Structure 1
């Protein structure tokens, strides 16, 4: 939430987000392309204010975790009117959802691990599979003479 334009770096012919993972301290460069590049360029503007967060309030201040959470809760309440079966979720659940969607799309677990900031691949596997809900077919092997 406190990323500033200073983390956007030119690399080769493109741009990357250069971030340091909070828990691991590992530096990660995320390629900026397509819609993500467009959104970042739009948020930064032509003349970047280097100390202002990329995603900021109308006053140019960083969002707090409480502020983001409140906006998410209001959006959920509004959506619940049209989708009564919508279950509540928190801001951090979005990371798990994104990781699970990547896994179900056959993305390599190592790539998901890097984006999640996990030191160990097993952590990523547990993280993703704990959110995986899929209908599976029963065993179709013939039993005995049946």
Structure 2
């Protein structure tokens, strides 16, 4: 009887080993084809008063974004339902850009978000690589 139990245990162990690859069959993203994204936004200064200017920029991407020479971003400053009209900004083919955003004298105090539209961060059609978080940076208006 112990030989029969031993054979059953060996068979069960063999089945478990054979089944392990099946547990990993959930489709995994192909990281070799991960999307090219621009580097994080830079803002200077990060604390401003109404009436001051904030410089918003990004360095060149470390990959080919596929941008045409006439690529444009729309940059806006938002805070809790209040915002400045978006400004169109020319972007270099490597994804680098720099622009100045004037914080209006009437802009409310508190944390505000600089939002850039027109980059690959806006493309949420393929959620394989995570959420569509957007291309943003936070500043404080005092």
Q: Which has the higher contact order (CA 8 A, sep 6+)?
A: 2
Task: Say which one has the larger Rg.
Answer: 2
Q: Which has the higher strand share?
A: 2
Q: Which has the higher helix share?
A: 1
Normalising by structure 2, we get a TM-score of 0.22
Normalising by structure 1, we get a TM-score of 0.21
